[in-house]
Amino acid sequence: MFCKKVLLNKNVYSSIQNVSLKQLSKSSINYANILNLKVNDPEILIPWNEAKPYSEIPGIKSSSQTVRNFLPGGKYYKKSLKELHQLMNDEYGDLVYWKGAFGKPDILFVYNAKDIEQVYRNEGPLPNRREFQVLSYYRKNIRPDIYGDNGGLLVEHDHKWKDLRGKVNPVMMQPRVIKQYIKSVEEVSDEFIARMLKLRDSNQEMPDDFMNELNNWSLESISSIALDTRLGCLEDNLSMNSDSGKMIQAVHDFFELTFSLEILPSIWKYIPTPSFRKLTAALDIMTEIALKKVDEAIERLNNNPNSEADTEASVLEKLLKIDRNVAVVMAIDMLLAGVDTTSNTTAVLLYFLATNQNCQNKLRSEIMTILPEKDSKLSVDSFKKMPYLRACMKESSRIIPIFGGTRRKLPVDIILSGYQIPKGTEIVLSHHTSCMREDQFAEPSQYKPERWLNNEESLGCPVAKNASPFAHKPFGFGPRSCVGKRVADLEMETFIMKLIRNYNIEWKYEDLEITSRVIAQPVTPLKFKITEV
């Protein structure tokens, strides 16, 4: 029997009739497509043998063309990642083939939400995401003395990844574990806000290097969770030769150099280029500092064991009980993935609040119901009553996603936009473009947090539920979604609540300029004006 072609009505699941699953093959419709297809627009299912072959997908068809595009005079020369994706989407369409060069694999770029959903829904229980190649090489070939056979969640795949994620999930994904850090994260936020007030110039504005200050706040916050200690990042006159200063610079170097080594054509696999050597030096710094801090934490915990039976063990304690190596690698990964990402996300959110005073005022009103006094403290319940804050965060990350996409290799053949996609194809899902499309979000360039609230139709803002939920996935989807989501949310929500409750943020300059490498980063000096309310 064959699959009956079905016209799918809006807002309903497809109905598949007259299908024998055992007989499904490439001669009919892919099994995974049938089980998982959910669409918001009319779509006609087609058999595999009626889909266009993979070789006909438009794009960059030769390695020499790929290299030429990035050389001086090439159309992608010195373009940011966001600009690169938009140029390819405009020229080639929603699917773009990219021929690899210098040993890098061929890539399929996916730009529309319907296809992105299909990729996520067909990834299976062991999602395969291409790791950071340089990071993997460093951990497995340069520093096996530290990492052994545990490359970490950023590197591992298949059953090794599943085993590690299974150990880490109960620690990192449980709300009760993360919420125990409300007090320490709030203390860091309070100290940082006090420092911000001291940093103001005669115009009540932040200094040109305020981005560095946000990095210090982010590192101080994440270290209180990952390492069970404060690093002193918010101290006056912090030296870049201190552990904190070195760590911040190393993390920044990692993301900056990863773009040139992982995304752009590079010969580091054949010759240790200057960028490769600089990146491995940065990884050495992160590894040594993290090892030092973990050892200090172990000694501290041994000298002061948790004696209260009703006190929740810390994240580090829980990880150490699993395995010291797991604790070390997770601490490094939390610092690596949780500093620049959180600080840049926060910078972008502050910009949108500063340039949309009506949204900031509405947010402040919501916060004041939770924190009625200037010195009110946060509790677990405080985070349950902040829908507009979360809407502001979602809208900010939609317009300027810090991570513009993710990679997958699927274990099955699928059909995307009428093309055959063989299993094992290297796929990049681009949220840079999918979350800024008119067919998903009305007036996509406008900052409208109300679109994320279900009861805001009266404001003339179409709610985001009308868009595909796969058009905007800042933390990924499925088993391989970001393990640090709860930590990042806690840090940002705490800081924004404490800041906006008592201070107004303004922006008096031109539009914020962003560069997109591996992550999006503000280029414009963050000269926010901070005044008491």
**306: CATH:** 1.10.630.10
pLDDT of residue 5: 33
* Domain assignment present for 44: yes
Q: Which of 13, 29, 50 is the last residue of a domain?
A: 50
Section 295-313 average pLDDT? 70
* Domain assignment present for 346: yes
pLDDT band at 41 (very low <50, low <70, confident <90, very high): very low
pLDDT band at 353 (very low <50, low <70, confident <90, very high): very high
Domains: count for the chain: 2
Residues 30 and 167 in one domain: no
* Domain assignment present for 436: no
Residue 15 predicted with pLDDT over 80? no
Contact status, residue 39 vs residue 8, Cβ threshold 8 Å: yes
- The alpha carbon of residue 278 and the mean position of all alpha carbons in its chain are separated, in whole angstroms, by 24
> Quick one: which of 110, 27, 32, 280 has its CA closest to 16?
32
Residue 173 predicted with pLDDT over 60? yes
Contact status, residue 227 vs residue 293, Cβ threshold 8 Å: yes
* Domain assignment present for 342: yes
What one-character DSSP code corresponds to residue 94? Answer: S
Structure tokens at 43: 């779509």
* Alpha-carbon distances, residue 90 vs 83, 86, 106, 206, 386 (angstroms): 11, 6, 20, 38, 38
Section 301-313 average pLDDT? 64
Q: Which of 50, 71, 88 is the last residue of a domain?
A: 50
Residue 482 marked in a binding site: yes
* Domain assignment present for 283: yes
* pLDDT top residue among 361 and 474: 361
**Per-range mean pLDDT, top range of 149-158, 260-269, 300-309, 498-507:** 498-507
Sign of CA dihedral 285, 287, 292, 294: positive
User: Could you give the CA distance from residue 383 to residue 524 in angstroms, rounded to a whole number?
Assistant: 32
Burial category of 132 from C-beta neighbours within 10 Å (exposed 0-12, middle 13-18, buried 19 and up): buried
- Greatest pairwise CA separation for the chain in angstroms: 78
User: Could you give the CA distance from residue 124 to residue 169 in angstroms, rounded to a whole number?
Assistant: 18
What one-character DSSP code corresponds to residue 478? Answer: G
Strands 414-416 and 503-506: unpaired
Sign of CA dihedral 326, 327, 328, 330: positive
Number of Cβ atoms within 10 Å of the Cβ of 128: 19
Residues 45 and 154 in one domain: no
* Domain assignment present for 374: no
* Domain assignment present for 72: no
Residues 288 and 172 in one domain: yes
Residues 21 and 163 in one domain: no
Residues 163 and 39 in one domain: no
Burial category of 119 from C-beta neighbours within 10 Å (exposed 0-12, middle 13-18, buried 19 and up): buried
- Which residues form the domain of 9? 1-50
Residues 38 and 187 in one domain: no
- pLDDT averaged over the chain? 86
What one-character DSSP code corresponds to residue 286? Answer: H
Residues 38 and 182 in one domain: no
Q: Which of 10, 35, 50 is the last residue of a domain?
A: 50
* Domain assignment present for 463: no
